[in-house]
Structures are given as structure tokens and as C-alpha cells.
């Protein structure tokens, strides 16, 4: 399976994967089966937009606008982040 | 040194289990039902753990489903804000119990696999009919869409079954397969001649896992624990002693790892007597091998010092008789010859007889 998301793919966090505040260490953490991943500001910003409704392109557009950053660079970063999650089965994708 | 809070806690609710796997990770001296913490005490331990910084709770045993209060305990853990992972053989779970576990917020199930056929699995688990029951509950888990990991504990008698194990994981809708080769502590040491895979099996296993990881990307994720006797470097046990995880035994004893009681000079505290945070930050057992300052040579000057932290303390204890030396698995250890001797002896002594199944002291087989 190709893990890269197509522009129209709509990613979501599947059952058993969630983002929640880390009330002891601060910040947000991604919790998945037998795994806890501390999110940096970028990861947090991406996952806040992973709703199952927004497409990959819409997520990238939104981030590029919000952070006033070059769209190509954002697209590459988001793709790399989401592919990493998908390889571990922490991310689902609706066509 | 700043001591970080723990991320994960293994709660061994009970040592009771219908299976009697010959590599069980419980200690050789099993605790009986009378010693177990009650529901309210466990619930309090879960809240203390969450307050301390634990994010992941592994609800284990023995067989945690042997506890009649499993649903209440899962609810308490969920309410404390913990991610709840049930580590089970499936025996003792029913459709009704799964419904109840789902309704109180169980996040994930890790189902153990002893083999992919009834003949093999029931022989390894020492429990006739276990495989059929396990498969029935696996279908119930799949039907509910509860996130599932299969944990296949692999050894000489089932490693050649790995392809079928991978197929089964896909068929059951598991998202993840742990190919965990037996590590030699406790019960597994008693069965080492039966369990230790051959070098050829180990190499074939690495190839199979690598190929399947590629073939099944996006369908099934893999975690592979190789048999470390054949490795060049030791495992970074627990990601560093007292740095990420802790283990609570059925009677409330708190351990830096599940096998730590095999180190005789360590003394352990109980949640019955001391707050969990004090045990984690101040307990002698947790501070005994924390960090790297205590490490001997060749570890202290080794470029891998902060990668594997000298390896596994329990293994150093078992093989070299000293928990404070380099894990003999490491090819740079002055004691590495001990591992080579075990491998050589296993080649000679390799046998296909019967397992020594785990059992309570005083009971036979």
C-alpha cells in the first residue's frame, strides 16, 4: 500500500488513537496502542486539523495561511508526519 | 540527575491464569489469590499513577480476566485518564464482558498467541481447548472493532509457524503484530533447551519480518523482539532502569521491571505502605541502576552507553551472577563467553521432549 496521502484524502485518527493534554509534563500527547508520543507545536497544529472531514490539501492550505508559511514546505512536512503515523497504523484515511 | 516521571505502568492484577506457558513472565514464586490487592486499592494505584505522569496502563496478569472485577478496574483506570490496554489470552472474556469493557472505555486489547493451530497452541499454553476459545473471542473483538494487537511469543517450536501467524493477524483485523522471541528469565530459563531457537531460525525470522513489514505496510504494523542471545548488543531493557516504566505485582509490590525480583540484593516497596510517587523517585530499587553513573567498563566509555544502558540487569544477574556488570549478551562484555557457552550447550542439548510448565510451588506440572 502507498502511504502518501492524495490531495483529496481525508485523514482521521482511528479508534484507539487520540490526542490529549499531558497534565503532568504539559503540552499535548498522542496516545495510541502501547505508545505515547509527545507532540511538538507542529504536530499539535497538524493533528488539530485531522478531523476526517478536512482533505489533505485543505489541511495544508489552512496551515500555510495560519502560519504564513510557504505551502510547498508545509505540504512536505505534513505528508512526512502523516505517513509516519500511517505506517504505524495510527492514522486512517477516507478517500 | 533529574528523574523523569514514568510513562507506562504494567499492572499485574493477578498471577492466576488458566494457561501455564513455559516462558511465563511471572516470577517462579507465584502469588496466590489471597495476596492480591482489592478493587479499591488498585483503583487508588491507578489514580496515583496518572498523577505521577503515567499515560499508558497495561492491564495484565497472569490472566487479568481471572479477576471478577476486571470491568470495574478498567473503568477506574479510564476515569483516572489512563490509556487502557488489556493484555490477555482471551480466556475468561465473553461477549458480554467485552461489551462491558467497551462501555467503560477500554482502549485496546493485546491478545497473546501461542500458535496458529489448536495442536501447537494448546501444547505450548498447556491448556486444552484454549486455542478454540481464543479464536472465538478474537472474532468477537474484531466484530466490535476494538483496536487489536496480536502478541506472538516465538521460540524454536513455533518460529516456523511465523508466516501463518502473520496471515492470522491480518485475518483477525489486528493493526499490529508483535513478534516477540522468548527472553530468558524465570520460567523460560527452565525451558531454555526447548525454547532457544536455532541461529538459522533466527536469521529466517528476521528476513520474514522484514519482508512482511514491507508487504503489509498500511495494513499491519510490526514490532520485532529478536532473541537477544544471537545479538551483538544487548536490549535497552525498559528503555533504561527507572526511566520510563514500572510494574506493580498482584500484592502491590512495585518493581522497576517484571523480572527485577530475580536480583536478590534489591528490596522492593509496596503500594500498601508507600505512595507510588515516593517509590518511583526515592525507592532504593529504582535508584539502584538509574542513569549511567553506576555503569562499569566497558560500558562507561562505550559509544553505546546511552543507547542500551549496559543492557538487562536481570540477565547480568542470571548469566554472570552480578546484576551490576555489562549484560553478557554484549559482544564487548568480558562475560560474553557465557552466552556462547549457552548457545553451544543448547545445540547439544536441544530436545523435543516436554515443557516444564509454570505452576504454583508445591503443585506438579
pLDDT of residue B362: 60
CA distance B23 to B124: 9
Q: Assess whether pLDDT exceeds 70 at residue B349.
A: no
List pLDDT tens digits, range A43-56: 999 999 999 999 99
* Residue in chain B nearest A16 by alpha carbon: B107
List pLDDT tens digits, range A65-91: 999 999 999 999 999 999 999 999 999
Q: Assess whether pLDDT exceeds 70 at residue A18.
A: yes
Average pLDDT, integer, range B201-211: 95
SS (H, E, C) B7-58: CEEEEECCCCCCCCCCCCCCCCCCCCHHHCCCHHHHHHHHHHHHHHCCCEEE
Q: CB under 8 Å to B275, separation ≥6 — which residues?
A: B48
ipTM of the complex: 0.96
Q: Assess whether pLDDT exceeds 70 at residue B293.
A: yes
List pLDDT tens digits, range B241-255: 999 999 999 999 999
| Residue B24 annotated as binding site | yes
pLDDT of residue B352: 78
Q: Assess whether pLDDT exceeds 60 at residue B101.
A: yes
A25/B221 touch (CB, cutoff 8 Å), yes or no:
no
- Tell me the angle at which helices B313-320 and B336-349 cross, rounded to the nearest 10 degrees: 70
pLDDT of residue B364: 43
Q: Assess whether pLDDT exceeds 90 at residue B360.
A: no
Average pLDDT, integer, range B186-215: 94
pLDDT of residue B363: 55
How far CA B22 is from CA of B156, B236, B317, B335, B363, in Å, comes to 13, 24, 21, 27, 15
Q: So where are chain A's domains? A: 10-88
Which 24-43 residues of chain A touch chain B by CB within 8 A?
24-25, 29, 31, 33-36
Q: pLDDT band for position B51 (50/70/90)?
A: very high
- Cβ neighbours of B236 (radius 10 Å): 18
DSSP state of B253: B
SS (H, E, C) A48-84: CCCCCCCCHHHHHHHHHHHCCCCHHHHHHHHHHHHHH
Q: A10-88: which CATH topology?
A: Arc Repressor Mutant, subunit A (1.10.10)
Q: pLDDT band for position B361 (50/70/90)?
A: confident
**Half-sphere exposure of residue B241: CA atoms within 13 angstroms, side-chain side:** 24
Are B77 and B86 spatial neighbours (Cβ–Cβ below 8 Å)?
no
Mean pLDDT score of chain A: 97
| Range from A56-60, B59-63, B226-230 carrying the lowest mean pLDDT | B226-230
Average pLDDT, integer, range B131-137: 98
Grid cell 490496554 in the structure block, residue: B85
Closest CA to B305 of B315, B295, B317, B290: B295
A29/B55 touch (CB, cutoff 8 Å), yes or no:
yes
Q: Assess whether pLDDT exceeds 50 at residue B291.
A: yes
pLDDT of residue A64: 97
CA distance B235 to B329: 9
A27 torsion bin: left (phi>0), alpha (psi -120 to 50), beta (else): left
- % of chain B exceeding 90 in pLDDT: 91
| Residue B17 annotated as binding site | yes
C-alpha cell recorded at residue B331: 559482544
Torsion over CA: B312, B314, B320, B324 (sign): positive
* Shortest Cα–Cα distance, B278 to chain A (Å): 16
Amino acid at each position: 500500500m502507498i502511504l502518501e496521502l492524495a490531495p483529496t484524502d481525508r485523514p482521521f485518527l482511528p479508534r484507539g488513537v487520540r490526542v490529549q493534554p499531558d497534565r503532568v509534563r504539559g503540552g499535548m500527547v498522542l496516545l495510541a496502542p502501547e505508545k505515547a508520543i509527545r507532540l511538538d507545536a507542529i504536530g499539535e497544529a497538524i493533528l488539530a486539523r485531522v478531523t476526517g472531514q478536512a482533505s489533505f490539501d485543505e489541511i495544508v492550505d489552512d496551515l500555510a495561511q495560519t502560519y504564513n508559511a510557504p505551502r510547498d514546505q508545509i505540504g512536505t512536512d505534513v505528508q512526512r508526519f502523516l505517513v509516519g503515523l500511517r505506517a504505524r497504523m495510527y492514522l486512517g484515511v477516507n478517500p | 540527575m533529574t528523574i523523569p516521571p514514568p510513562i507506562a505502568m504494567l499492572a499485574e492484577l493477578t498471577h492466576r491464569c488458566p494457561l501455564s506457558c513455559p516462558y511465563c513472565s511471572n516470577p517462579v514464586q507465584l502469588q496466590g489469590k489471597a495476596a492480591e490487592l482489592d478493587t479499591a486499592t488498585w483503583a487508588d494505584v491507578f489514580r496515583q499513577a496518572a498523577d505521577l505522569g503515567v499515560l499508558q496502563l497495561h492491564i495484565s496478569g497472569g490472566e487479568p480476566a481471572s479477576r471478577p472485577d476486571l470491568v470495574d478496574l478498567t473503568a477506574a483506570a479510564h476515569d483516572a485518564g489512563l490509556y487502557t490496554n488489556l493484555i490477555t489470552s482471551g480466556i475468561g472474556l465473553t461477549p458480554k464482558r467485552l461489551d462491558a469493557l467497551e462501555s467503560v472505555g477500554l482502549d485496546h486489547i493485546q491478545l497473546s498467541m501461542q500458535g496458529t493451530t489448536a495442536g501447537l497452541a494448546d501444547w505450548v499454553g498447556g491448556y486444552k481447548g484454549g486455542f478454540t476459545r481464543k479464536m472465538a473471542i478474537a472474532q468477537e473483538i474484531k466484530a466490535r472493532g476494538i483496536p487489536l494487537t496480536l502478541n506472538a511469543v516465538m521460540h524454536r517450536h513455533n518460529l516456523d509457524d511465523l508466516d501463518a501467524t502473520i496471515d492470522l493477524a491480518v485475518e483477525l483485523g489486528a493493526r499490529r503484530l508483535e513478534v516477540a522471541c522468548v527472553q530468558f528469565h524465570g520460567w523460560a530459563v527452565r525451558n531454555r533447551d526447548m525454547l532457544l531457537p536455532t541461529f538459522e531460525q533466527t536469521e529466517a525470522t528476521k528476513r520474514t519480518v522484514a519482508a512482511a513489514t514491507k508487504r503489509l505496510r498500511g495494513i499491519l504494523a510490526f514490532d520485532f523482539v529478536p532473541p537477544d542471545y544471537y545479538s551483538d548488543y544487548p536490549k535497552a531493557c525498559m528503555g533504561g532502569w527507572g526511566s520510563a516504566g514500572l510494574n506493580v505485582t498482584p500484592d502491590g509490590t512495585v518493581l522497576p521491571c517484571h523480572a527485577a525480583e530475580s536480583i536478590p540484593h534489591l528490596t522492593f516497596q509496596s503500594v500498601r505502605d508507600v505512595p507510588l510517587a515516593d517509590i518511583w523517585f526515592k525507592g532504593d530499587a529504582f535508584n539502584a541502576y538509574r542513569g549511567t553513573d553506576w555503569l562499569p567498563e566497558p560500558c562507561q566509555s562505550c559509544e553505546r552507553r546511552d543507547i542500551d544502558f549496559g543492557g538487562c540487569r536481570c540477565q547480568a544477574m542470571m548469566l554472570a551472577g552480578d546484576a551490576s556488570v555489562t549484560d553478557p549478551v554484549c559482544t564487548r562484555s568480558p562475560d560474553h563467553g557465557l552466552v556462547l557457552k549457552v548457545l553451544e550447550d543448547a545445540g547439544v542439548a536441544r530436545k523435543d521432549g516436554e515443557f516444564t510448565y509454570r505452576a504454583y510451588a508445591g503443585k506438579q506440572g
